[in-house]
């Protein structure tokens, strides 16, 4: 069955996506078939690739359960993974990733909706001596806490594995995370007390009124968006056709689209490229990384 028979937003059969995910891991997938996927199918495909990668890394599944080669090592590849087995692996992967590290204690339960999380030790500044202060662990009974992992964490870990420097400066990461938090808070502005910030910022004595808090957040968000500017992270006219997508449908990637895709929509740099019709090459990804770092630096200087 050809994926090209399912254009646009139509849903590709699960068996086809499972087959494509296995072939992607083995390096035998057809790039044109992946590009032909709609947004919904591409998201499912990426998720299943992550599941299979996790299953192989943790030895939850053997290679022989995923694929086999006819006639020996150099023969054609046959995908033997069933959809039932794929769904079982996906459930196991989600629950494994949802579990909090042991250092956090049993009070933090597994939460699949939380997504990938990282542990950290809360710190509080306490008085030391007559005038000084010092940072000390403040976790409950010395335990760690957890926070949701994001694309900044993923890119940082990938750089560490390659022995490279962090892709973004700490201030740039903070600007990106602040932008995402502000956008989330402002987008919930139609419902009073729809977030923890809204409840804590009620009209009590000494606190800001909820409307004031929302107005301040909206104003800061607007300033950060103005700092992003109208520039283009990747322009069609500046790149040779050989560096664009093979079908020739590349579109200019605006700085705002890059920042929103990465910080708000959870799109990796490669996802942003594919969404705009570009080839997912190392050179194109590096161009986007530099453009994103520059935009985040401008946002960091926002007051």
Q: Which CA distances in Å does 287 have to 142, 194, 296?
A: 43, 38, 14
Residue 3 pLDDT: 38
Q: What is the pLDDT of residue 5?
A: 40
> What six digits make up the tokens of 48?
């299943």
**Which of 223, 226, 230 is closest to 253 using CA atoms?**
230
For residue 20, the surrounding DSSP H or E stretch is: helix 14-26
Rounded-to-integer distance, Cα 244 and Cα 240, Å: 7
CB 272 within 8 A of CB 235: no
184 with 222: CB under 8 angstroms?
A: no
Question: What integer pLDDT is reported at residue 211 of this predicted model?
Answer: 84
| C-alpha closest to that of 257 among 278, 239, 283, 282 | 278
Helix (H, G, I), strand (E, B) or coil at 81: coil
**Secondary structure of residue 168 in the 3-state scheme:** coil
DSSP state of 208: -
Helix, strand, coil percentages, rounded to 5, for the chain: 55, 10, 35
pLDDT, averaged in runs of 10, over the chain (303 residues): 43 87 90 87 90 92 89 80 92 84 79 76 81 79 82 91 92 94 84 48 54 89 93 69 56 93 92 89 92 94 71
CA atoms within 13 A on the CB side of 288: 27
Look up the pTM and report it. Answer: 0.62
């Amino acid at each position: 069955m050809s994926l090209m028979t399912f254009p646009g937003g139509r849903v590709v059969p699960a068996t086809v996506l499972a087959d494509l995910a296995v072939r992607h891991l083995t390096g035998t997938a057809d790039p044109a078939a992946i590009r032909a996927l709609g947004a919904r199918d591409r998201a499912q495909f990426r998720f299943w690739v992550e599941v299979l990668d996790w299953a192989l890394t943790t030895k939850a599944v053997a290679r022989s359960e995923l694929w086999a080669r006819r006639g020996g090592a150099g023969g054609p590849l046959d995908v033997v993974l069933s959809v039932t087995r794929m769904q079982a692996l996906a459930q196991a992967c989600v629950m494994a990733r949802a579990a909090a590290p042991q250092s956090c204690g049993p009070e933090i339960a597994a939460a699949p909706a939380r997504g990938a999380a990282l542990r950290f030790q809360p710190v509080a500044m306490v008085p030391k001596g007559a005038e000084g202060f010092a940072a000390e662990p403040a976790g409950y009974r010395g335990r760690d806490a957890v926070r949701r992992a994001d694309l900044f964490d993923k890119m940082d870990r990938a750089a560490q594995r390659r022995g490279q420097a962090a892709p973004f400066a700490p201030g740039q990461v903070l600007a990106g995370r602040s932008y995402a938090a502000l956008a989330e808070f402002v987008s919930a502005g139609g419902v009073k007390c729809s977030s923890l910030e809204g409840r804590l910022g009620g009209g009590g004595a000494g606190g800001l009124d909820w409307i004031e808090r929302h107005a301040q957040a909206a104003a800061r968000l607007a300033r950060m968006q103005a700092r992003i500017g109208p520039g283009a992270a990747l322009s069609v006219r500046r790149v040779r056709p050989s560096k664009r997508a093979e079908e020739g449908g590349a579109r200019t990637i605006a700085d705002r689209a890059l920042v929103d895709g990465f910080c708000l929509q959870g799109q990796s740099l490669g996802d942003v490229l594919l969404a705009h019709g570009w080839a997912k090459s190392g050179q194109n990804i590096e161009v986007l990384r530099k453009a994103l770092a520059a935009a985040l630096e401008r946002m960091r200087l926002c007051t």
